[in-house]
Amino acid sequence: MTRTTLALSVALSFMLVPSPSYGQGAAVASFDKLPDWSGVWSMMGGTVFDRATQTGEGGSVTPGVREHPPYNAEYEKRYTAHLALRDADRYPDVQTNCGVPVGYPRILNLPDAYEFVVRPDLFYIIAENGGNTMRVYTDGRKLPAKADTWGTYTGVSVGHWESDTLVWETIGLKGDRDNDSILDRTGLVLSDAVKVTTRMRKINDNTLEAKMVIEDPKAMTKPWNVTKQFRKSKPGLFLYDYGCAENNRNPVDTKTGKTLVLGVDGKPVN
Amino acid sequence: MTSVHKIVFTAMAAVALLAIQPALAHHSGAGFGKETKEISGTVKEFQFTNPHSWIQVNVADASGKIVEWSVEWGSPNQLGREGYRPSTFAPGTKVTMKVHPMSNGAPVAGFVAAKMPDGQTIGKWDGE
């Protein structure tokens, strides 16, 4: 190999290594300055995403139950259509087919157990249900430009600490673009223009609180404020894997929206 | 009852309710009726699997014919944290169950409670 070839190879190898496009440099907290969010947590309340605006008695699959986000006319119409399907037990939750992540912000609206992993450079939400994972980068990088996102289930999140509160912004969500990302089983959806600002902190030894401001100029007339809380479980519990496809006897028929129940022979009984 | 006792009692009741809810979280629970039916039979298999567990029970119908029932319960993860194990319903165990059957008459149901041979109960045996 000539010196020129070697130099070219070295130069090329540097070009192939992805560069940190969004930069770092802001002060990053050290472990000893971070709050203790260790342990196993469970979401408080049922899976109606915005219980503060809920009308109707029951859970997210109970006919008549709905929430009241500040939807514009188009998205209110869409939500009303979803509610009618839900009332007829025909609104499909594709999560039930074990194929896609629940995404953000629905990852903060799940049953079963959670772990919230705080590191100086990164914050993980680990939801057993699904399983689902979300990352919030706290290493000082900036959010990418909108043109550098392409719409994913959990989007891109960058955060920082304000005393004991983790503040993060989430963009790059796919919303209802492909009809496979919802907030709950009433049929709440967001658009792909949404930005969510979340402030999360421990409000007492046993309670974590996440306050979200959801701004969606395509779907809403004003910001939507939603708060979710999580209760700490007794110490020593384990989380397990959640092999959703291990023995799924309740797939959704995506053509009809019907949740099937499979009998022992694997055939639907409903 | 003092206000402190009321708070403690309410908190204990809430925890107890959380502990026994069936937690059919993966799907809507569609198809199960509100009627509670009692079935007695022999455990064939306990599918302690995600996303939900299923107890297969052989039950004799009115004519004496054995019918295999599928009884759906919570996720093994949640049940495991509450102390249940794959051995909770060992094959061959005689069991009586309270269930919410499918409204169309299929031998498939949601779990409510069970009474074991030694009289021990699991779930909401004394009322939902």
Q: How far is B81 from chain A (nearest CA, A)?
A: 7
Q: In this structure, is residue A38 part of a structural domain?
A: yes
| A205 inside domain | yes
Which DSSP category does A173 fall into? Answer: B
Angle at A23 between CA A162 and CA A210, to 5 degrees: 30
Residue A36 located in a structural domain: yes
Query: What is the model's pTM?
Result: 0.84
The one-letter code for the residue type at A106 is R
As for how many domains chain A has, the answer is: 1
List of domains in chain B: 3-123 (2.40.50.140)
* Domain extent for A62: 31-259
What CATH code is carried by the domain that includes residue A136? Answer: 2.40.128.20
Residue B5: per-residue pLDDT: 44
Q: Are A142 and A157 in contact (CB under 8 A)?
A: no
Please write the tens of the pLDDT for every residue from B41-74.
999 999 999 999 999 999 999 999 999 999 999 9
- Within a domain: residue A195? yes
Q: What pLDDT was estimated at residue A23?
A: 42
Mutation for testing the B interface, residue in A261, A267, A270 having most B CBs under 10 Å = A261
If you count residue pairs, one on A and one on B, with CB atoms under 8 Å apart, how many are there?
94
Cα–Cα distance, B76 to B88 (Å, whole number): 11
Residue A39 covered by a domain:
yes
Return the higher-pLDDT residue of A12 and A130.
Answer: A130
Alpha-carbon distance values, B19 to A33, A42, A265, B119, B123 (Å): 35, 12, 31, 20, 9
* B20 and chain A in contact, CB less than 8 A: no
Least confident of A1-5, A70-74, B71-75, B110-114: A1-5
Instruction: Indicate yes or no: CB of A244 within 8 angstroms of CB of B51.
Output: yes
- CB atoms A249 and B72 under 8 Å: yes
What is the DSSP annotation of A203-219? EETTEEEEEEEEE-TTT
> Shortest Cα distance from A230 to chain B (angstroms)?
14
Euclidean distance between CA atoms B46 and B48, whole angstroms: 6
Using the Cβ of A243 and the Cβ atoms of chain B, whether some distance falls under 8 Å is answered with yes
Q: Which of A57-66, A111-120, A184-193, A254-263 has the weakest average pLDDT?
A: A254-263
Q: Nearest CA to CA, how far is A9 from chain B (Å)?
A: 50
Residue among A47, A82, A112, A254 with most chain B CBs within 10 A, to mutate: A112
- Domain annotation covers residue A265: no
Q: What is the DSSP string of B31-46?
A: TB-S--EEEEEEEEEE
Residues recorded for chain A: 270
Nearest to B30 among A129, A238, A259 (CB): A259
- The verdict on a CB contact (< 8 Å) between A240 and B28 is no
A154 occurs within a structural domain:
yes
Is A1 part of any domain?
Answer: no
**Position B34 confidence tier, pLDDT thresholds 50, 70, 90:** confident
Other Cβ atoms closer than 10 A to B7: 11
Per-residue pLDDT for A10 more than 80? Answer: no
Cis peptide before B91 (omega within 30 of 0): no
